[in-house]
Amino acid sequence: MQPPLKSLDYFQKSYDIRVGQLKEKRVRGTKIIGTFCLFVPDEIIFAAGADRLVLCGGRTDTIARAEQSLPRNICPLIKSSFGAVVDACCGGNLSCAHVQLVDVVVAEATCDGKKKMYELLPEYLPTYVLDLPQKPGSPEAITYFLSELRKFGTYLEDLTGNAINEEQLKKEINSSNETRRLLHRLFDMRRCDPPPITGSEVLQVMQKQFFLSPDQFREGIRQLCEEMEHRIPPARSGPRIMISGCPMSAGNTKISDIVEKKGAVIVVEESCTGTRSFWDLVEEDKEPWTALAERYLRIPCACMTPNDQRISHIVDLARRYHVDGIVYYTLQFCHGYNIERLRVQKALKKEKIPLLAIESDYGDSDVEQIGIRIDAFLEMVS
């Protein structure tokens, strides 16, 4: 075991500072937006003078609370998120204070489970839903999404009392792009063999991406990259693995932890807590609203159809990161990613890249069974 990366402490410390910062900002009248998805553009929120934090639930202890209202057979992320909102708004003490930090929730029309859960939220918190075209490839889709983004802008202007001007929006685009470039730098270093950072370490960082302020987050990534450049990682004994699939929200590190405990090293994550969050940049010398609409519709979420861009992206990543195998991770009852697995698997078979499909929830009851599969898979690809 090599000593842990010191820069990771920065992220932990920043987390505490950030909670205080958000509380203070709110007192001073800044509107704080709770989000659940990558499709809600940070740039517009910041351009309106608001701030944001992600509310996606990765904890198991709020699920029982959610199941008092929601069906059991929907994904744990939806249940955990909803449970945290209900608990926080009904005087519970299960969830961390995140929900109490927000003024409104900006939701998005992605999967069915989330859409229907969002319909229940207004009882607890003011909720705005951003609509998404789900066949993203056409010019009409861009036009429609553009109109949705502008509507969202107007909503934020009304909420904050600040007008969004083009110059500010461009500044925010540059700022978000800078974060994306830094993440590219971090992820690029993982192409080395052996990589200077583990997947579990990267996950800790990525889970804070939309919680910390952009300045805090970038400073952390800069420090981390510096430290990694001077780190001599121990020789690699296990295979290079890529994780592909559902997000791993804060509180959920189960699969990455098992894979690396079994001796493999995760070199890239194709997920919302991985490449999907930063891969594409927003074009900077274009009309900003259009540039945003185009970039955000390129996020290869499984709620899109057909999602060919995701499949080719996975194959591309597998080559770029020299992976020995892919662990395809789906949250239990996440139909989008679960069904899409078959097309991904077929494309990978052609490329002779092995895939192991794991479906799991937030509980610990299947840790052993998953371990058995991972063991066998790692032996198979070694």
Partner 1 sequence: MITAGIDAGAATTKAVLMRDREIVGYRISGTAFDFLTSAEKIYDELLLASDIDRNDVEKVYATGYGRNSISFADRGISEITAHAKGVYFLFPEVRGIIDVGGQDSKIIVVADGKVTDFLMNDKCAAGTGKFLEYTAKALEVPIDDLGTLALASSHPAGITSMCTVFAESEVISLRARGIAKEDIAAGLIAGVAQRIMVMAKRMALTDHIAFVGGVAKNAGMKVAFEKELGITLFVPFEPQITGALGAAISAHG
Chain positions 348 to 367 lying near partner 1, rule: CB under 8 A, are 354, 366
C-alpha to C-alpha distances, 173 to 30, 44, 47, 130, 366, nearest whole angstrom: 20, 9, 9, 19, 42
Q: Does 339 bind partner 1 (CB under 8 A)?
A: no
Which of 136, 325 has the CB closer to partner 1?
325
Q: Does 376 bind partner 1 (CB under 8 A)?
A: yes
Q: Does 380 bind partner 1 (CB under 8 A)?
A: yes
Which of 14, 330 has the CB closer to partner 1?
330
Q: Which of 17, 97, 192, 372 binds partner 1 (CB under 8 A)?
A: 372
Stretch of residues binding partner 1 (CB under 8 A), selected from 223-231, 277-285, 312-320, 372-380: 372-380
Q: Does 286 bind partner 1 (CB under 8 A)?
A: no
Q: Does 369 bind partner 1 (CB under 8 A)?
A: yes
Which of 339, 372 has the CB closer to partner 1?
372
Q: Does 64 bind partner 1 (CB under 8 A)?
A: no
Which of 192, 372 has the CB closer to partner 1?
372
Size of site (CB under 8 A) for partner 1: 11
Q: Which of 9, 193, 215, 375 binds partner 1 (CB under 8 A)?
A: 375
Q: Buried (b) or exposed (e) across 175-200, using 16+ Cβ within 10 A?
A: bbbebbebbeebbebbeeebbbbbbb
Which of 54, 241 has the CB closer to partner 1?
241
Q: In the complex, what is the shortest distance from the CB of residue 379 to partner 1, in angstroms, rounded to a whole number?
A: 5
Q: In the complex, what is the shortest distance from the CB of residue 299 to partner 1, in angstroms, rounded to a whole number?
A: 30
Q: In the complex, what is the shortest distance from the CB of residue 359 to partner 1, in angstroms, rounded to a whole number?
A: 9
Chain positions 236 to 275 lying near partner 1, rule: CB under 8 A, are none
Which residues contact partner 1 (rule: CB under 8 A)?
Answer: 354, 366, 368-369, 372-373, 375-377, 379-380
